[in-house]
Every structure is written in C-alpha cells, then in structure tokens.
Structure 1
C-alpha cells in the first residue's frame, strides 16, 4: 500500500500530470511523469472499465501499486507519476507489468533529462 503522502488523489493533479508531463507507452500501460517542486514523489493510477470488471481492475491496481512503491525512491524530487493501465494489463502477470513499468520509466526519465525530446 502506498502511504497517504505518496498518493495522487485530486482530479486536477491527475489532469495536470497527464497534460504537462512526459509520456511513455508500452503494450500494457502508459506512464505520465511530471516534475515540479521539491516534494516527495507521488503516484496515482488510472484503470478504466475497458480493462475489465471491478475485480479485475482492483487486481491490476493492487499489482501496479506494489510495483510502483519501491520505484518511487528512484524518481526525482517533486515527481508526479500517473500509471494508466491498458486492457492487456488484465491478463498480464506482475512480472510482465513490472517489465513494462521499468521500460516506460526509463524512457520517460531519459526524456526528462534530454531537452527538446518529443512528449
């Protein structure tokens, strides 16, 4: 479980992170990262009904939360991370989600440091 201080909870936080952040997509998920300020990194998850019924969506969310928690420490201060699950995430196991998450985070972090890279 993510501690309360490490969670994105408000709609405007999600919207600004998605709108203003860097994005990297993989077959099972899309990662949006926006760095602003010097607060501790925070994360939020978007798992729509397209992924599956409530049981499936909650299972995907739990897996993603478990995978993101140790990776938050690697993000720069002030980071806001939104992980959006795609329909193939419903049938993926934790290892596959972890591989996609790591690859997406590597790409988005590289885009943050390299100015002029497309979103």
Structure 2
C-alpha cells in the first residue's frame, strides 16, 4: 500500500459537465481570459442556472501526445477533486494547459486552478 495522501471523497451529486463540441469551445473564447503560468482559463457566462461545464485542451506546442495527455490527466483530476466546487452555475470554463503544469506540484496546480476559477488575480 502506498504512503501518501488519500483521495478526497466528493459528495455524490452532479459535478460539472464537459464541453465536447468544437462549437462550445469556440463560444467560450468570447469570454474572459485569466492567464497564468500553468494554464490559461477562459470563462464564459451563459446567463442561465444550468450546471457549470468545462473543457480541457493542450496544444501541440506543449509536447508530444504522451506529454499532452499527462497534462490533461493532471488538470482533469484537479478539477474533479478540488476545483469543481468553485465553479459557478451558468458558466463555461476552458482550461488550456501549458508545459509548466507538468512540472508543478499537484498542490500548486490545484491552488492555482481554484484561485483562477474564483476570479482572483
């Protein structure tokens, strides 16, 4: 058994939905951009009360498929475990991963993601 931090159990319920269509990702580009060292967060207020939605993307400039997938997995887990509670209903979020997200500690990644989602600079 590995020594380390136990996964945090989230309450059973409806978490954020995923953005899946290109059209949805492009729509979010019209919204606010919150730039950071680890990722770019784009936020669009849909002006409704539906659950929040999020999407992840990592461009080919970041690295090969293995590197991009590792960054995506880290960001997806950070959203699932920590940042989903910070997302506001009626908003769409697109997280554009950067190379530094791979080298950052998971705690640093989750703190930065939660801070950006809440809107802090």
Bigger Rg, which one: 2
Does the alignment pair 1:104 with 2:112?
Answer: no
Q: Give runs of aligned pairs for residues 31-110 of structure 1, distance below 5 A.
A: 31-36=41-46, 37-69=48-80, 70-107=82-119
Q: Which runs of 5+ in 1 are unaligned?
A: 111-119
User: Are 1:25 and 2:35 counterparts?
Assistant: yes
Name the Cα RMSD after superposition.
2.2
Q: How many pairs does the alignment contain?
A: 106
TM-score if structure 1 supplies the norm length? 0.77
TM-score by length of 2: 0.75
Determine which structure has the larger helix proportion and give its number.
Answer: 1
- Runs of 4+ in structure 1 deviating by more than 6 angstroms, as ranges, are none
Secondary structure in 1 aligned to 2:57?
strand
Partner of 2:11: none
Give the conservation status (yes or no) of the 8 Å contact 1:42–1:81.
yes
Structure with larger RCO (C-alpha < 8 A, sep 6+): 1
